[in-house]
Structure 1
Amino acid sequence: MPVRGRSCTPGRGTVRRVGDTGGVNDPHAPGTRHFASDNYAGVHPEVLAAVAAANVGHTPAYGDDPWTERLQEVVRAHLGDAAVAYPVLNGTGANVVALQAMLPRWGAVVCAETAHVNTDENGAPERVGGLKLLTVPTPDGRLTPDLVARQAWGFGDVHRAQPGVVSLTQATELGTVYTPDAVRELCDQAHALGMRVHVDGSRIANAAAHLGLPLRALTTDCGVDVLSLGGTKNGLLLGEAVVVLDPGAVDGVEYLRKAGMQLASKMRFVSAQLVALYEGDLWLRSAQRANAMAARLRAGLDALGLDITLPTEANGVFVRLPRPVAAALRRTWRFYDWDVADGTVRLMCAFDTTEQDVDDLLAALGEALGGTAAS
């Protein structure tokens, strides 16, 4: 079967991919929870129930419906009275629409090399959005003011794309989390330079769960201007939202959403999912479960003496596995090779990962290690 390949660390010749799945003959085995991505998980039953409840009668299209109206109230409760949500179909769409609305045609985005907008969206911000990404290497996926300063220069130089937005991924693609102080420091720097701050929050629920803080403590209270609010990785069928926190930070977002093919005609079914996730504590419960399973997995890997390559702060664990061990695991589970050169793989937990799922993987790991060195 074909493998999904994509660049991980520029210049190192490494590839991130699912890899040879060995004996996994049935990609949809209902009794198996894979560890490749939280996107592998199904839809949370409470979200499915919300979709079914919205599936009654006729209602106006394109967002002029009670569910989208209710979503505005829910978002304001989380993120402040100025917040406005624009539901979209997926995370790439949320990021592209948000960044387009925040920048002029000559604008550029400063982000980490490992940021999702740079590594996982097939150039959509550049191909579709017409934007320049100015990337910087980071040791753990997190930007700092010093790192941003490497690209935040050349203002007024007609030969250079103009840095206008700093984009953070929360939690990062490397499973690390920005603290409120770190986000605030970046916002202060960006605003002092006349720039705006965007947060790609596809896993912001996992970050908030890790820190034990409300969503606004990582966004509005820090000075973030626009948030791509995640849903799919935390139990939705589909759907995210561009949430504008500062109305002065965007221009024409409603038009760009349509032009970017992200305006759902039957928007009530996207909004109903987001309401189900964020109206109560489902977003937090689901993220807490995923994080807890990653912590359980991390503890088991530590006990086996394996080399954990990055902090485990959200729902992903990065560990070096001997190739024969990784091949043995792939007879049952799917997961990503993160760095083929050094054997690092990513094991991702989801809202529906169970303790038994984790323990089964650890037991298989222990058996596969057998006479194999852990390093």
Structure 2
Amino acid sequence: MQTLHDPAIRGFASDNYSGVHPEVLAAIAAANEGHQTAYGADDYTARLQQVVHGHFGEQAEAFPVFNGTGANVVALQSLLPRWGAVVAAKSAHINVDEGGAPERVGGMKLLTVPTPDGKLTPELIDQEAWGYGDEHRAQPLAVSITQSTELGTLYTAEEIRAIADHAHAKGMLLHVDGARLSNAAVSLGQPFRAFTTDAGVDILSLGGTKNGAMGAEAVVVLSEGAGDGLVYLRKLNMQLASKMRFISAQLIALFEGELWRENASHANAMAARLRAAVEPLEGVGFAYPTQSNGVFARLPEGVADRVRDAFFFYDWDASAREVRWMCTWDTTEGDVDAFAAAVREAVGAPQLAE
């Protein structure tokens, strides 16, 4: 087939813009030989369970799905009765970037809380965790946090443990949206289970697509009290893949060895390189610390549009001239340096000597 795009074009809008890692493509091709039983009763999905056990413990069970929104909806739905509600940060992906799917498809109420850095705390959770027994109020029965957050910030294992203990004491379960969980693990320098299973997380949306997969996510049940009805809910929500071996093969390629770590480490390093390159420029500031693979910058008037002529990226808060720059597994040092040079030129700063 003819290539319909220009492979030389690079962008910093999203870590979904990158292609598929060659090892993942090879894994899909390897899984393509012969016949395998459909709907998850295949050798690759069975192997994925073993891989997940190695990262999250023997009790963990993975349910591969097509995409992150599906993972979040199915996971949260499995935690809640029909009258249940989820406490989340106002900036959470489930609130601002999923088209209302948790509420319209999942049938749950989102109770959102403004946060200064995208992170919930026990005190912030309590702003919405009330009204138990009141038939006029959706019952707050789950908490959802994102690791790393939509603002590129990180929860420590201790912070997650504090949230889990607080939530459990109120009869709530804890969900983690882990679309960028690999970036968080690399930045924290900890294994996944240190800030999930061992920190009291009940259920997890495990991301693969943003870290080199073609399209592969999974709901991972971590505690005995979570995941009720998942075997039915995945089909009900149109997230049950008939040829599941191809989703599982992608996740195996990422998580069986060190590819997840290598990809995330590189993406994080490129974000740090980008921030360091533009941080000295006059008029350039930053909204949040750069702790994973996203840089949230504030630019002088007109700079964003001038840079966007060559590199596409999104405004995050246009009123504050705040933009989001995302790096990914295939962002190169050359990409970063060229982008930083474009920012420097747009700001009107002299270019650095070679």
Same-fold call, TM cutoff 0.5: yes
Pairwise CA distance, 1:31: 1.5
CA distance in 2, matches of 1:219, 1:39: 24
Contact 2:266 2:329 in 1 (8 A): yes
| TM-score calculated relative to the size of structure 1 | 0.91
- Which of 104, 124, 146 in structure 2 is aligned with 1:169? 146
CA distance in 2, matches of 1:304, 1:362: 10
Which residue in the other structure is 1:283 paired with? 260
1:205 matched to 2:205? The reply is no
1:58 matched to 2:35? The reply is yes
CA distance in 2, matches of 1:342, 1:227: 33
Which residue in the other structure is 1:41 paired with? 18
CA distance in 1, matches of 2:176, 2:303: 37
| TM-score calculated relative to the size of structure 2 | 0.96
1:331 matched to 2:309? The reply is yes
* Structure 1 moving runs of 4+ over 6 Å: none
- Which of 318, 324, 342 in structure 2 is aligned with 1:364? 342
Pairwise CA distance, 1:122: 0.5
CA distance in 2, matches of 1:81, 1:33: 41
Which residue in the other structure is 1:109 paired with? 86
Pairwise CA distance, 1:322: 2.4
Residue type matched to 1:328 in 2? Answer: R
Pairwise CA distance, 1:27: 9.7
1:320 matched to 2:298? The reply is yes
- Which of 322, 333, 353 in structure 2 is aligned with 1:344? 322
Unaligned runs of 5+ in 2: none
Which residue in the other structure is 2:273 paired with? 296
Residue type matched to 1:324 in 2? Answer: G
1:72 matched to 2:52? The reply is no
Residue type matched to 2:113 in 1? Answer: V
CA distance in 2, matches of 1:269, 1:371: 49
Which structure exhibits the higher relative contact order, with contacts defined as CA atoms closer than 8 Å and separated by 6 or more residues?
A: 1
Q: Relative to structure 1, is the Cα distance of residues 215 and 206 closer, same or farther in structure 2, using a 3 angstrom cutoff? A: same
Residue type matched to 1:354 in 2? Answer: T
CA distance in 1, matches of 2:349, 2:246: 52
Deviation by residue 1:51-91 (Cα, 9 ceiling, x = unmatched): 00000011100001000000000000000010000000000
Which residue in the other structure is 1:11 paired with? none
Q: Relative to structure 1, is the Cα distance of residues 157 and 297 closer, same or farther in structure 2, using a 3 angstrom cutoff? A: same
Secondary structure at the counterpart of residue 172 of structure 1: coil
Deviation by residue 1:161-206 (Cα, 9 ceiling, x = unmatched): 0001000011000000000000000000000111100000000111
Unaligned runs of 5+ in 1: 1-25
Secondary structure at the counterpart of residue 367 of structure 1: helix
Residue type matched to 1:355 in 2? Answer: E
CA distance in 1, matches of 2:326, 2:119: 19
1:84 matched to 2:61? The reply is yes
Q: Relative to structure 1, is the Cα distance of residues 276 and 35 closer, same or farther in structure 2, using a 3 angstrom cutoff? A: same
Which residue in the other structure is 1:9 paired with? none
Residue type matched to 1:347 in 2? Answer: W
CA distance in 2, matches of 1:75, 1:188: 24
Q: Relative to structure 1, is the Cα distance of residues 194 and 255 closer, same or farther in structure 2, using a 3 angstrom cutoff? A: same
Deviation by residue 1:127-156 (Cα, 9 ceiling, x = unmatched): 000000000000000000110010111111
Deviation by residue 1:336-367 (Cα, 9 ceiling, x = unmatched): 10111011000000010011100001111111
CA distance in 2, matches of 1:33, 1:286: 17
Pairwise CA distance, 1:239: 1.3
Residue type matched to 1:332 in 2? Answer: A
Pairwise CA distance, 1:245: 0.4
CA distance in 2, matches of 1:362, 1:136: 35
CA distance in 1, matches of 2:103, 2:93: 13
CA distance in 2, matches of 1:227, 1:370: 45
Residue type matched to 2:82 in 1? Answer: R
Secondary structure at the counterpart of residue 99 of structure 2: coil
CA distance in 2, matches of 1:149, 1:216: 26
Secondary structure at the counterpart of residue 320 of structure 2: coil
Contact 2:76 2:175 in 1 (8 A): yes
Deviation by residue 1:262-301 (Cα, 9 ceiling, x = unmatched): 0000000000000000000111110000000000011111
Which residue in the other structure is 1:128 paired with? 105
CA distance in 1, matches of 2:157, 2:9: 36
Pairwise CA distance, 1:314: 0.5
Pairwise CA distance, 1:33: 2.1
Q: How does 1:182-197 map to 2 (within 5 A)?
A: 182-197=159-174
Which residue in the other structure is 2:286 paired with? 308
CA distance in 2, matches of 1:48, 1:175: 28
Pairwise CA distance, 1:370: 1.2
Q: Relative to structure 1, is the Cα distance of residues 248 and 371 closer, same or farther in structure 2, using a 3 angstrom cutoff? A: closer
Contact 2:281 2:349 in 1 (8 A): no
Which residue in the other structure is 2:117 paired with? 140
Query: Number of aligned pairs?
Result: 347
State which drifts further: 296-305 or 99-108.
296-305
Supply the RMSD in Å over aligned alpha carbons: 1.3
